[in-house]
Amino acid sequence: MKTWKKIAIGVGVVVVFLAIVGATVYNSRKNLVVVQTGKVVREDLSSVVTASGEIKPKTYVNVGANAFGKITHLYVKEGDHVKRGQLLAQLENVQSAADVAATRASLGASETDFVAADAGSKTAVADMARAQADSDRAKLDFDRAQGMFKEQLISKADYDMKKSTWEQAAAGLAQAQARLAQAKAQQDSADKHIAQTRANLTRASDVLQKTTYAAPFDGIVSNLPVREGESVVIGIQNAPGSTLMTVADMSVITAEVKVDETDIVNVHLGQSADVTIDAFPHQIFKGIVSEIGDNAIIRSTGVATTQSTGSSQEAKDFKVVVTLQSPPDNLRPGLSTTAKITTATQAHALTIPIQALTIRKPEDLIEDKDKKPSDSTASAASPSAAAAKDKKEIQGVFIIRDKKSKFMPVETGIAATTDIEVRSGLQEGDEIVIGSYKVLRTLRPGVSVKIDNAAPKKEDEGT
């Protein structure tokens, strides 16, 4: 055989061999799935609920108008620190002060009438005592005269005179008793007039007192919407009254936030929280959950569901109050704030990225080589059983075993922002599939995989 023929045959053999190798590689790669992986690790895990709201003092009072009138004096400015009992504002009080003066004068007159009635009562008591004595003496004289008249020791005229004297004394006693009763009635009436006048004085004094406003406690004037010379009104049934100012006790500061209804069940009193305030960037303040609202608040209107007249399917929040432990001195009510409430912690927990979790139905976990021809026939013959089977879903992750995917059911615990606790199903160091999202949606057990943990392409980021 010629040399060129040998070379041609050798080249042909090499080409055929390369073609076979290329076809084999191509077919092997055609069913290869590129995945991103991560490791099962142990770390300290915290479950956090994030909510936004505003800074509020724990104790504050909106000082409202208790009377109608014009503001004559404002003794404070917004931002002033005040002490308990310090005078804050004064309304016009000419009429109420006159009413108090007139009522006090009436009270003085009533007390004078009572003194006179008391003196008259005492005089009536003395007159009755004298009339009683005269009646007793006249009765004795009449009894003696009656005996002597029977023995004919005195004349009929003397007897009649003694009798008349006794009857006159008895009438005088009855008259004295009536005058005493009258005097006591006048004294009782004067006493009742005093009580009535004192009640009127209390009412007039209360009206006068409501024209003067004092600080209910030590604090700061956080809001002052009125000016001197303005007129204020008291509230009525469906209209609120004028608000003169707001006094806030800034010794205890809270962050009042709104927690989503899906997270409120995990929030409890005493849980710690990290509070950030927009006005104080890069600072974190520690706090404790001190109050949890019982009524849901409709997010769009801010009205509690108990105050709403109709049912609503809108999203709802719950009020949660976080008390700051060391607030800065220059903190002001109304500042925007965000609270991150730690609802659960687990030290040295076995964790995986949340994105690695996936859901599969039992029939999706059967590898192609394990499927039997009768599976489809059985499903078709028993549609109700298949429907019931479809409803059952299994939570788990895909791990890498011998360069192939394997589905492992897992039991999870608390969840953090990016990681979640695994209580069973995995071991520390296991390599699991964490991406991409498109791959995790369709990945099946027993599929050959290629690990590529390089940065994803832009097109992959969009999927």
pLDDT band at 409 (very low <50, low <70, confident <90, very high): very high
Could you tell me if 111 and 90 are in contact, meaning their C-beta atoms sit under 8 angstroms apart?
no
- Distance in angstroms (rounded) separating the CA atoms of residues 263 and 438: 29
The structural domain count of the chain equals 3
Could you tell me if 200 and 96 are in contact, meaning their C-beta atoms sit under 8 angstroms apart?
no
Mean pLDDT of 411-423: 91
Q: Are residues 116 and 167 in the same domain?
A: yes
Directed axis angle between helix 94-150 and helix 156-209, to 10°? 170
The three-class DSSP label of residue 400 is: strand
Q: Are residues 147 and 101 in the same domain?
A: yes
**CATH number of the domain where residue 392 is located:** 2.40.420.20
**Would you state the pLDDT for residue 352?**
93
Could you tell me if 311 and 368 are in contact, meaning their C-beta atoms sit under 8 angstroms apart?
no
End residue of a domain, out of 317, 345, 373: 345
- What does residue 330 show for φ and ψ, rounded to 5 degrees? -95, 20
**Residue 215: CB partners within 8 Å, gap ≥ 6?**
82, 83, 84, 85, 86, 88, 247
β-strand pairing of 404-409 with 243-260: unpaired
Q: Is residue 117 part of a domain?
A: yes
Q: Are residues 375 and 453 in the same domain?
A: yes
Q: Are residues 201 and 112 in the same domain?
A: yes
Q: Are residues 270 and 284 in the same domain?
A: yes
Q: Is residue 244 part of a domain?
A: no
Q: Is residue 447 part of a domain?
A: yes
Tokens (6 digits) for 121? 């009562």
Instruction: Provide the residue type at 366 as one letter.
Output: I
Q: Which DSSP state fits 151?
A: T
End residue of a domain, out of 319, 345, 371: 345
Q: For residue 29, is pLDDT > 60? A: no
Output the 3-class SS for 313-333: CCCEEEEEEEEECCCCCCCCC
pLDDT digits (tens, 9 = 90+) for 30-50: 568 889 999 999 999 999 999
Q: Are residues 161 and 182 in the same domain?
A: yes
- Residue from 122, 136, 145 nearest 173 by CA: 136
Q: Is residue 443 part of a domain?
A: yes
Directed axis angle between helix 373-381 and helix 383-391, to 10°? 100
Q: Is residue 65 part of a domain?
A: no
Q: Is residue 386 part of a domain?
A: yes
**Residue 410: CB partners within 8 Å, gap ≥ 6?**
352, 357, 395, 396, 397, 422, 423, 424, 425, 426
**Would you state the pLDDT for residue 463?**
41
Print the domain residue range for 315. 51-59+252-345
Q: Are residues 293 and 380 in the same domain?
A: no
pLDDT digits (tens, 9 = 90+) for 304-325: 777 666 666 778 899 999 999 9
pLDDT digits (tens, 9 = 90+) for 260-293: 999 999 999 999 999 999 999 989 999 999 999 9
Q: Are residues 197 and 300 in the same domain?
A: no
- Distance in angstroms (rounded) separating the CA atoms of residues 387 and 380: 11
Q: Is residue 83 part of a domain?
A: no
Instruction: Provide the residue type at 237 as one letter.
Output: Q
Q: Are residues 97 and 205 in the same domain?
A: yes
Reported residue count of the chain is: 463
pTM: 0.63
Could you tell me if 245 and 89 are in contact, meaning their C-beta atoms sit under 8 angstroms apart?
yes
End residue of a domain, out of 304, 324, 345: 345
Could you tell me if 175 and 131 are in contact, meaning their C-beta atoms sit under 8 angstroms apart?
yes
Output the 3-class SS for 136-150: HHHHHHHHHHHHHHH
Residue 228, CB-side half-sphere exposure with 13 Å CA sphere = 9
Could you tell me if 242 and 66 are in contact, meaning their C-beta atoms sit under 8 angstroms apart?
no
Q: Are residues 332 and 428 in the same domain?
A: no
Q: Output the average pLDDT for the chain.
A: 84
- Residue from 59, 57, 63, 56 nearest 86 by CA: 63
Q: Are residues 289 and 312 in the same domain?
A: yes
**Would you state the pLDDT for residue 320?**
96
pLDDT band at 457 (very low <50, low <70, confident <90, very high): low
Q: Are residues 203 and 281 in the same domain?
A: no
pLDDT digits (tens, 9 = 90+) for 350-369: 999 999 999 998 888 776 55
Please tell me whether the peptide bond between 336 and the residue prior to it is cis, using omega within 30 degrees of 0: no
Q: Which DSSP state fits 78?
A: T
Q: Which DSSP state fits 356?
A: G
* Selected residue with higher pLDDT from 40 and 158: 40
- Residue from 193, 80, 79, 178 nearest 131 by CA: 178
**CATH number of the domain where residue 299 is located:** 2.40.30.170
**Residue 337: CB partners within 8 Å, gap ≥ 6?**
52, 53, 54, 55, 255, 257, 275, 276, 277, 278
Q: Is residue 20 part of a domain?
A: no
CB atoms within 10 A of CB 20: 10
- What does residue 334 show for φ and ψ, rounded to 5 degrees? 95, -5
Instruction: Provide the residue type at 422 as one letter.
Output: V
